[in-house]
Chain A
Amino acid sequence: MPPTRKRKLDQTASTIHATSPPKRHQAEEFKEVEAALPATPQTLTSDKGMDSDDDFNSVASSMDLGEEMSSSVDFGAGDSDGDVEEYEDDNTGFEATAKDLANKRKAFETDFKVYSPQDIQNQQDGQVAEVANLLEQPPEATAILLRYGRWNKERLIEQYMDNQEELLEKAGLGQDIRRNPPRIETVIGFACDICCEDGQDLESFAMTCGHRFCTDCYRQYLTQKIKDEGEAARIKCPGDRCNKVIDAKSLDLLVPSDLTDRYHVLLMRTYVDDRESLKWCPAPNCVYAVECGVKKRDLLKVVPTVHCECKHAFCFGCTLADHQPCPCALVKKWLKKCADDSETANWISANTKECPKCHSTIEKNGGCNHMTCRKCKNEFCWMCMGLWSEHGTSWYNCSRFEEKSGHDARDAQAKSRQSLERYLHYYNRYANHEQSAKLDKDIFHKTEKKMTLLQSTSGMSWIEVQFLEGASQALQQCRETLKWTYAFAYYLARNNQTEIFEDNQRDLEMAVENLSEMFEKPTDQLAGLKVEMLDKTAYCQKRKVVVLDDTARKLKEGEWDLLLLTPC
């Protein structure tokens, strides 16, 4: 049986003709103008309760744009592709829109805010303090209530006002902690139900439920819960079926400080996990959390890429690495499709036939139409699949070509073949960019060495060779974007928009390949290519912005015809 062919890569890039000038479209023009205008520094506004539909229109420019600004100071003059000259006469409405540009955000950018663990703690404490004030409950108790209500303040307060007793009971609080502050006591006649110890000076502890255990057992119980089971928000009383939840104050009394530290770390985790608008950065060892107002239901309309302090760019919707412009649902489908063997089946049905007698799968790799099945020795015609013995005298030239059954079989096969070809077209390009990004990275590492060399041979300073790093990063990012444009395109039904999309995609691809090519130049030439390389880097970034902005805007407005129902 033939192996799966989908891993085979072709050199997509080489098929693109660098000579054809990039097509201009009204929309792109406009974007380029935007990019040339000074961008407002990134202002991150807290977005509590922000409505996802509105957030696209407000403030903030992204990091990408920021980078672009710093590296594209001279693109107007040195641009070899001649793409900027015409914008003035094209855009008659330029004056009118210019006003909005300063505070208009790109369609593919999402508002977000990065929080350090300390910020998260403060936010948590702030919410507790606020609600504690309102409910007139001590902060420890309020924290338990808020965790029970998954930090939905309004609903919690409402429930509290409606039926205080019931809420307290359900949340595991019971009566007032203030009147009965937690304390360790020695009670006469007490015997611990866990270790069976008694003794006059045995210290013991009980929550308001009255289930009293010795402090040793309580400590061990809490240690087990926190250390081994990773619980924090809802550690219950050790008593059988008791619903009371241990509060932070009681915990402080009972366990050593290293455990309370762990307890608070776990609480913070559940705090972030509990809130839809908060997510931990998925990068290894990263401690930051990101807040973003994009809701789950919006994910078909927006791809919310966020940039963590640690430089990791990820999708807030699915926490995978940045996959703009492709929406989460398609990414999931695409990755599944690439990972499973569905295309192997397609390959088989497109390239093989079954022996009409024993149904062995046969690939014809040459020779005439007279087939002899190796397994069952059945002789048949490859064209009509009929018995060879009945084939008459016109051997080697099947005359039964137009029979209906044969026609249908060929139809189905053609369909399979077409669907496979379509998939492979996109997959090859997707995989090619993934692979090329890796290769670009390798080259960059070599280039890093070249940079040091360049410094010593050409007398350039460290800062002067940084353009190589900038170019490399731009390449990586653009290839990542390109990669996902192909996955996106696979699920795109043809309409007027796809043509524009493909043009934009091709322009970006060309820009990327041009820049990528420069990395292969010998080191001694690199210093002289600095300006050109800076230009090409800026151009790549700009083309990326065009692709992303166009797709994001149309995604939001529902202008794409997505083939969401394509079988995987």
Chain B
Amino acid sequence: MSSSKISMLDLEHIAKLARINLFESEKITFLPQLESVLEYLDVLNQANVENIEPTFRVNDQKNVLRSDEIVDSFDQKTALSTAPKTQDGYFVVPGTIKK
């Protein structure tokens, strides 16, 4: 992104992806804040990266794998212990299918 200007539509799209509902007043507050963050990061765009392979990692570690063996899991009670709402051994969340 060469320009950090983002539109209100971009902001709304990002909010939607993050599953955040924003009031109009919040959008007006956040838009310039988000812009200034992006502007700050824009400094990265000044670096010339032509012919430079992307760096995915900063160390040479590779192949950290485990063998296919089972280790005891949480019991159901522990697994559910931090859930705000449970039922019959399940986590309960608001309905995800809109009818």
Are A and B bound to each other?
Answer: no
A contacts, CB < 8 Å to B: none
B contacts, CB < 8 Å to A: none
